[in-house]
Amino acid sequence: MKKVLFLLIACLLLTGCGMKYPDLPENPIAFEAGNYTYNDDEGYMTIEYNGRTYMPYGTQKGIMKTSDIDKCIGYIIQDENISSVVDLTNKDTRIYTLTDDKDNNYLLEYYVASELMNNPTFWRATDTRGKKIHTPKIIDSLGYDYWK
C-alpha cells in the first residue's frame, strides 16, 4: 500500500500538480493559431509573438517550479471550426514566458482548467531553427522533423 501511495504522489509531482501558474494579465494577448506545412504532409500549429513565429517543440523534463515561469502573456483563441459547441470566450489555454529564457526563444503553453495529468507544451521560435541556442533545463525535445 505504501508503494502505491508513493507512486501516486510521484506521478502527481511530475505532472506539475499543485504548481501555481500566473494569472492572465489585465490586457492579455489573444493568440490566433495558424498552420505551417512542412515536407508537404506534416502540419504544425503556429502562434505569433513580438514579430516571431513559434511552433511546438517539446514537453516538460523533470520537475518544473513556479519560479521557472516568468509571466502569463495571453491565451490561444479556440478554433470555432473544430466544433460548433466550442466556447470562444474560453481563455484556459494560456501562454507564458520563461524565467531562464530572456530572449523568449521558447514559450510555454498550459491548459489551466485541468491540472490532472496535464503536461505543458513548449513552443520554439522558428527563427532559431538550425541555431545553437540556450534551452532551459525543463524542456525536453519531442524530436519533431522540423527541428532536426
Per residue in 34-87, pLDDT tens? 888 777 666 788 999 999 999 999 999 998 999 999 999 999 986 655 444 445
Do 42 and 120 form a contact (C-beta atoms < 8 A)?
no
Element (H, E) at 55: strand 52-60
* pLDDT attached to residue 50: 96
Instruction: Collect all residues with Cβ–Cβ distance below 8 Å to 89 and sequence separation of at least 6.
Output: none
Please name the residue that has the C-alpha cell 513548449: 122
Do 107 and 29 form a contact (C-beta atoms < 8 A)?
no
Q: Please, which pLDDT band fits residue 22 given cuts at 50, 70 and 90?
A: confident
Comparing CA positions, the residue from 143, 66, 60 lying closest to residue 109 is 60
pTM: 0.79
What is the rounded average pLDDT of the residues 21-27? 87
pLDDT over 70, % of the chain? 76
Q: Please, which pLDDT band fits residue 5 given cuts at 50, 70 and 90?
A: very low
* pLDDT attached to residue 122: 97
| DSSP labels, 64-86 | --GGGEEEEEEEEPP-TTT-TT-
| DSSP labels, 17-37 | TT--PPPPPSS-EEEPPEEEE
* pLDDT attached to residue 28: 92
